[in-house]
Amino acid sequence: MAERVVVLGAGYAGLAAAKRAARRLRGTDARVTLVNVSDRFVERVRLHQLAAGQVLADLPLRGLLDGTGVELVVAGVTGLDLGARVVRLDTVPYEVGYDVLVYALGSGADLDAVPGAAEHAFTLAVAGEAVRLRSRLTEARTVAVVGGGLTGIEAAAEFKEAHPQLEVRLICAGPVGDGLSATARRHLHRAFRRLGVTVHEHTPVAEVGPDGLFLEDGREAPADTVVWAAGFRVAGLAAASGLAVDGQDRMLVDATLRSLSHPGVFGIGDAANAQAAGGRSRMSCQTGLPMGLQAGDAVAGLVTGRDLRPARIRHLWQNISLGRRDGVTQFTRADDSPLGAVLTGWASARHKEAVIRGTVWRLRHPGPCGPGA
């Protein structure tokens, strides 16, 4: 009987895994099915640009899968029966059976962090929310972006550059760009001063209301638009299905990206807690794409009876856009700790654009990855 490989999620990790597995299994009886809630590939790292009013490339999944033999099923995943090896869906065909499963359902905005965020804040986790925010920004006056990580930094800068009339405030519980070098953080602050973004560091938010923020120190921060960019979280589906997970509901996987509790399941991307060089993998496209490629190799190895190689996950840099003409590229050690080397300004902006375009090219052409591949 033909082996059935099912990949859940067509983000950077899932799409790469499906295409790589299909390529490796060409000429066998194995069938690869990719399940995704939308028929489009979303460049999640560009959603702040979409919200700011820019037009992004339309990337139909069927076009990206053309000629691969991968079957696309457009449906949402509602449940997993790990014993019966069945994925339950919210539309036709309602169920898909598998022999090998790749779990790559990604992450979403952490809207449970404080009361009111889910009801009153916009997010940049999915394309639909970014489109809704784009419409809102055309009529907004004051925007509060909550979160001093990469998403919040990029959103605040992009919104102010695209809409100079907006009053944009960046509010975060700790320092902006925590984990970056001092040189990189200094450039962030210079860029925000140049753009006119007001930065409030060490300012934890207690609640989001219809007219702005309530801060933990008792003050209020009025805003007619709140953008929540204070972290991501994964859905509880893996945990609810009985897969071994960590305290953040991320799948626990071994060195080959197989589930610690169910070796017929691979976990990749934001949904998996994988071992990176010197630590755990950070939620990012930079680790998601290599994980997908290496999982595709591992799936093919499992199906064809070959020994599985440990995945190699390492960090190289953090690319942060500051509008379309400025940025910070923080070069890092493999464990994601910052080096002294920093690229800024126009050169950094072009570097990030080249990396993003190169990522899409790699998804179109998922060739060899890593030594001996």
Spans of all domains in the chain:
4-107+234-314, 117-231
- Residue 169 tokens, joined: 């405030």
Q: Are 264 and 101 in contact (CB under 8 A)?
A: yes
What was the pLDDT predicted at 314?
Answer: 79
Q: Are 107 and 251 in contact (CB under 8 A)?
A: no
Find where tokens 């933990």 sit: 216
Find where tokens 């993998």 sit: 281
Helices (H), 196-316: 237-241, 285-304
- Does the pLDDT of residue 302 top 70, yes or no? yes
Region of 346 on the Ramachandran plot (φ > 0 left; ψ -120 to 50 alpha; else beta):
alpha
Q: Are 266 and 255 in contact (CB under 8 A)?
A: no
Which CATH homologous superfamily contains domain 117-231? FAD/NAD(P)-binding domain (3.50.50.60)
Two domains, one topology: 4-107+234-314 and 117-231 = yes
Q: How far is 143 from 162, CA to CA, in rounded Å?
A: 13
Q: Which helix (H) or strand (E) holds 346?
A: helix 345-364
**Model confidence at 268, in pLDDT bands (50, 70, 90)?**
very high
pTM, 2 dp: 0.92
Q: Which helix (H) or strand (E) holds 320?
A: strand 317-321
Q: How far is 200 from 158, CA to CA, in rounded Å?
A: 17
Average pLDDT over residues 287-316: 91
Q: How far is 258 from 250, CA to CA, in rounded Å?
A: 13
Question: Pairing between strand 251-252 and 77-81?
Answer: unpaired
Q: How far is 241 from 246, CA to CA, in rounded Å?
A: 14
Q: How far is 296 from 34, CA to CA, in rounded Å?
A: 12
- Does the pLDDT of residue 56 top 70, yes or no? yes
Residue 164 preceded by cis peptide, ω within 30: no
Helix (H, G, I), strand (E, B) or coil at 173: coil
Q: How far is 188 from 192, CA to CA, in rounded Å?
A: 6
**Model confidence at 371, in pLDDT bands (50, 70, 90)?**
very low
> Per-residue pLDDT tens for 2-45?
699 999 999 999 999 999 999 999 999 999 999 999 999 999 99
Q: How far is 303 from 289, CA to CA, in rounded Å?
A: 21
- Does the pLDDT of residue 278 top 60, yes or no? no
**Model confidence at 277, in pLDDT bands (50, 70, 90)?**
very low
Please provide the distance, in angstroms rounded to a whole number, between the alpha carbons at the two ends of the chain.
28
Handedness of CA 322, 328, 334, 338 (dihedral sign): negative
Name residue 6's beta-bridge partners. Answer: 33, 101
Q: Are 126 and 118 in contact (CB under 8 A)?
A: no
Q: How far is 5 from 99, CA to CA, in rounded Å?
A: 6
> Per-residue pLDDT tens for 199-244?
999 999 999 999 999 999 999 999 999 999 998 889 899 999 999 9
> Per-residue pLDDT tens for 281-297?
666 677 788 899 999 99
What was the pLDDT predicted at 276?
Answer: 57
Length of the chain: 373
Closest CA to 314 of 335, 338, 329: 335
Average pLDDT over residues 109-115: 92
Q: Is the domain defined by 4-107+234-314 classed in CATH 3.50.50.60?
A: yes
Helix (H, G, I), strand (E, B) or coil at 309: coil
> Per-residue pLDDT tens for 143-199?
999 999 999 999 999 999 999 999 999 999 999 999 899 999 999 999 999 999 999
C-beta contacts of 258-261 below 8 A and 24+ residues apart: 258/298, 258/308, 259/103
